[in-house]
Structure 1
Amino acid sequence: MVIWMTVTQARSDPALRAVSITVVLGTIMTMLDATIVNVAIDVLGRDLRVPLSTVQWTVTGYVLALSMTIPVTGWAIGRFGAKTTWIASLAIFGAGSVLCGAAWSVGALIAFRVLQGIGGGLLMPIAQTLLARAAGPERLGRVMAVISVPSMLAPVLGPLLGGVLVDHLSWRWMFYVNVPVCVVALLLAVRLLPGDRERDAGRLDLLGLVLLSPGLAALVYGLSQFGEAGGGTRAVLGLGLGAALVAVFVTHSLRRGTGALIDVGLFRDRGLTTSAASLFFYSVGVFGVLLLVPLYSQSVPGTGVLDAGLLIAPMGVGAIVTMPLAGRLTDRLGARLPGVAGIVTVLAGTLACAVIGPSAAALFVIGLGHGLVTPSIMASAYRTLPRAAVPGAATASQIVIRVGSALGAAVTAVVLQALTRSYGTAAFAGGFTWTLVIIAVALVPALVIPRHRPA
């Protein structure tokens, strides 16, 4: 299904179609690995004979490695080329997958998950860069729809696939399943991706790297600690350190300009700024929904992880329905109309969850809107930027989404815990109301996205 959609989006251009298929195969397993392990935490703890507080680092370590690696992407593309960096990153991720499957202890598994994250963190921004360069401004909507496939399906398919593999094989196959996909993606990359003609052998901004990568990791770690037992102090320390490092990096970037690890000056572009702001608040709200739905499902007696995954599945189906339409509408009319329509649709589905509780119908409606939002608003980020600025913009967009997702999960968990103490199971309605408000905030920057229309 994913490959068919990719071919459909770019059928008129064989070169673009080749790039699209290659990057979707390369990114889908890395996105799935951000969620697939969640369902096996208890199993890993029993098999490796460690407490859950320790085995949880198999998830946290992966996410932190992703966050720390993303800022290097723009420099790596300029120094080594997009194709070379893509192949190296995919090889690192594949090697990490093999080692994770063969891990002999929890320490080894955590270390190999970090290795996976180092490879996986580079892939999504590289994929966006490759597609934006291949498509040009007039087809950005369609190619952003293509690259949105993995991120849309991962929260839905990850828990389902993880549950099936753990139930019928073993937890090791959650990692081994990546290997054949990585091999095929590597072969396609060598054969189909365009050569590395655009290079910029500038020096790596080491000070920027020392500030931003640990700063992002500290922010994500602090956010992840909210809602954890005894995690209040760790959360405050992580957030404080992360915010300080990121603030110093912003000052450094403004002084250094285009030589910085990420040029903060790119946000002077209205399209990038409004799309990044909208994607940030949207990520906070939607990832809150993705946290609440499985928790609500598992609060019902007699249900489990697989039931929760099945309840979320209609969201993925809805996204698949509207995603091709989002690309065509964005290229024809600009990003504002489909982006705003998508957010309003997501708000309608979330309102149904808050009033009558999560249902397959409500999640399907959310999916319909989700399929419109991400491709259209993401396309707006690149439409008016010069080609040389695309890698930096792709890196910045991924950072915004990563931090927004972590913030959504963290704050929603805290809100739900606070409401549960006062209202019991009725707290879920309040949790969905919280996400509803945040998603509504995403409408504000979406309404002022420039009306770009291809010439």
Structure 2
Amino acid sequence: MTHLLIARAIQGFAGAFLMPIGRLTVIRMAGTKNLVQAMVWVVTPAAFGIAFGPFLGGIIVHYLNWRWIFLVNVPVCVAVGAMSSFYFRNYRRKNKVPFDFPGFILLGSTAASLLAGIANLTKITADAFIPLGLFAASLSFGLVFVWHARRARHPVIDLKLFANLSYRVSTYAAVPLRIGVASFAFVMPLMLQIPMGLNSLTTGLLMGAAAIGALLSRVVAHRLIKTFGFRGVLLPFTFALSVLTLAVGFVWLTKSLAAIALLILLTGFTRSLVFTSANTASYADLTRCLVNQGVSFAGLVQQLSISLAVGFAAAVLHVRQNITEEPMLTGPDFIWLSVCTGLFALLPVLFFWFLPVNLGKNKVDEQAHLHQ
């Protein structure tokens, strides 16, 4: 376990650089006129990877040793590193600014305390003071960071980001959205294998339908956003995503694998479309000087939200299992979880309602990134 945790920490450290730098590079290379189409290409493969993971993992576990799940990353990383060194442009900031080390420590402490609290959510019924204390510490560090950022000349995260309506709305909505939706990839394989008794190969094949849905969303995402704008896409499809998230908890009641595959495909399609639209909307009218920090902070929120989603799902199942005193998870346990996550997935509708109606229609404002 110690070996695994150390390796995962190093992997997370490296990954934290890759996602925002890669996304920022694409945004700069694409420009404002091609922002929507570029973000479709950036976000959809990420959603495809998340959806395709259980499919590939099921095949590996069924036919090979589970250690190949880790080994398969090596040639992929080597290939991506070689492609990046060849294709990426070497963007540099003209005016160098000093690194905000106190802000970095405060923001890191906020995230670390929050993640520790999430990891201890399963203790909420026995030792509630542990997760609650960690969440209180995270809140305290966060408040001190806000105080520091307002006074620092070059803060690690400029709070002026949140003066931008689109970025503020999209960032706030991302937290409940990912709590409600990201748990799907965590819970769905459990439900297919425990109450339904399907093997790892069948589970992986069914989960592959989400990857197909994510790819299909790429075909229509750009056209829908250009026609209806971000608000016109996010409001109906976020509502649909919450309904699909709720429906997932009742899958164990059917024996039809075709119906399950269709539900997973629709969930993958809708999830990819919503995340593509929400991520693009957050950068659509940021000024050039704030794009760097906007991408970095969005990446932080994304990773914390995914961790919170898994911790929340595990805590709900743990509490439910303590109430029923059943030794194994049962179908009704997943119904309770789907209700909770479905409600979380519905909350972003309230945030997306405040997005500008014309944001994203026809073309993104060409002056946004030109304004210094």
TM normalised by structure 2 equals 0.85
Letter in 1 for 2:342: L
Deviation at 1:285, TM superposition (A): 0.3
Does the alignment pair 1:345 with 2:240?
yes
Deviation at 1:167, TM superposition (A): 4.6
Does the alignment pair 1:113 with 2:8?
yes
* Residues 327-355 of structure 1: CA deviation (Å, up to 9, x unaligned): 23324542112222321221232243345
Which runs of structure 2 are paired with 1:84-123 in the superposition (5 Å)?
106-107=2-3, 109-123=4-18
SS in structure 2 of the partner of residue 308 of structure 1:
helix
8 A Cα contact 2:59 2:204, kept in partner: no
Structure 2: runs of 5+ lacking an equivalent:
254-259, 325-329, 366-372
Does the alignment pair 1:377 with 2:278?
yes
Which runs of structure 2 are paired with 1:287-366 in the superposition (5 Å)?
287-300=182-195, 302-354=197-249, 357=252, 359-366=260-267
In 2, the alpha carbon distance for the partners of 1:261 and 1:249 equals 10
* Residues 382-431 of structure 1: CA deviation (Å, up to 9, x unaligned): 11111221110011111222222222222222223333444653222121
In 1, the alpha carbon distance for the partners of 2:83 and 2:224 equals 30
Letter in 1 for 2:144: V
Letter in 2 for 1:149: T
Structure 1: runs of 5+ lacking an equivalent:
1-54, 56-105
Specify whether residues 183 and 443 from structure 1 end up closer, same or farther in structure 2 by C-alpha distance, changes over 3 A only. same
In 1, the alpha carbon distance for the partners of 2:287 and 2:336 equals 44
8 A Cα contact 2:181 2:245, kept in partner: no
Give the corresponding residue for 2:300: 399
Match of 1:247 among 143, 159, 162: 143
Give the corresponding residue for 1:38: none
Specify whether residues 187 and 446 from structure 1 end up closer, same or farther in structure 2 by C-alpha distance, changes over 3 A only. same
Does the alignment pair 1:174 with 2:69?
yes
8 A Cα contact 1:144 1:379, kept in partner: yes
Specify whether residues 115 and 416 from structure 1 end up closer, same or farther in structure 2 by C-alpha distance, changes over 3 A only. closer
* Residues 62-97 of structure 1: CA deviation (Å, up to 9, x unaligned): xxxxxxxxxxxxxxxxxxxxxxxxxxxxxxxxxxxx
Give the corresponding residue for 2:368: none
Greater Cα offset, 438-447 or 188-197: 188-197
Deviation at 1:130, TM superposition (A): 0.8
8 A Cα contact 1:222 1:239, kept in partner: yes
* Residues 287-320 of structure 1: CA deviation (Å, up to 9, x unaligned): 2333332222222264344443333322222121
Deviation at 1:363, TM superposition (A): 1.8
Letter in 1 for 2:281: S
Match of 1:272 among 167, 180, 183: 167
**Number of residue equivalences:** 349
Give the corresponding residue for 1:440: 346
In 2, the alpha carbon distance for the partners of 1:324 and 1:217 equals 38
The sequence identity of aligned pairs, in percent, is: 25
8 A Cα contact 1:271 1:449, kept in partner: yes
8 A Cα contact 2:52 2:208, kept in partner: yes
Give the corresponding residue for 2:290: 389
* Residues 246-303 of structure 1: CA deviation (Å, up to 9, x unaligned): 221122112226x111112211100101111222211010023333322222222643
SS in structure 2 of the partner of residue 191 of structure 1:
helix
Letter in 2 for 1:401: Q
Letter in 2 for 1:240: A
Deviation at 1:197, TM superposition (A): 4.2
Match of 1:237 among 127, 130, 133: 133
In 2, the alpha carbon distance for the partners of 1:247 and 1:322 equals 39
Specify whether residues 353 and 249 from structure 1 end up closer, same or farther in structure 2 by C-alpha distance, changes over 3 A only. same
Letter in 1 for 2:311: A
SS in structure 1 of the partner of residue 122 of structure 2:
coil
Greater Cα offset, 180-189 or 118-127: 180-189
8 A Cα contact 1:142 1:375, kept in partner: no
Specify whether residues 253 and 172 from structure 1 end up closer, same or farther in structure 2 by C-alpha distance, changes over 3 A only. same
8 A Cα contact 2:247 2:338, kept in partner: no
* Residues 424-449 of structure 1: CA deviation (Å, up to 9, x unaligned): 53222121111111111111111221
Deviation at 1:379, TM superposition (A): 0.9
Instruction: Compare relative contact order (CA 8 Å, sep 6+) and give the higher one, 1 or 2.
Output: 2
Match of 2:39 among 128, 135, 144: 144
Give the corresponding residue for 2:100: 205
8 A Cα contact 2:170 2:352, kept in partner: yes
8 A Cα contact 2:217 2:272, kept in partner: yes
Higher helix share goes to which structure? 1
* Residues 142-195 of structure 1: CA deviation (Å, up to 9, x unaligned): 121112134313333223333433454444433332222222222222222123
8 A Cα contact 1:211 1:246, kept in partner: yes
Specify whether residues 197 and 305 from structure 1 end up closer, same or farther in structure 2 by C-alpha distance, changes over 3 A only. same
In 2, the alpha carbon distance for the partners of 1:112 and 1:412 equals 24
* Residues 210-232 of structure 1: CA deviation (Å, up to 9, x unaligned): 11113202211211221269674
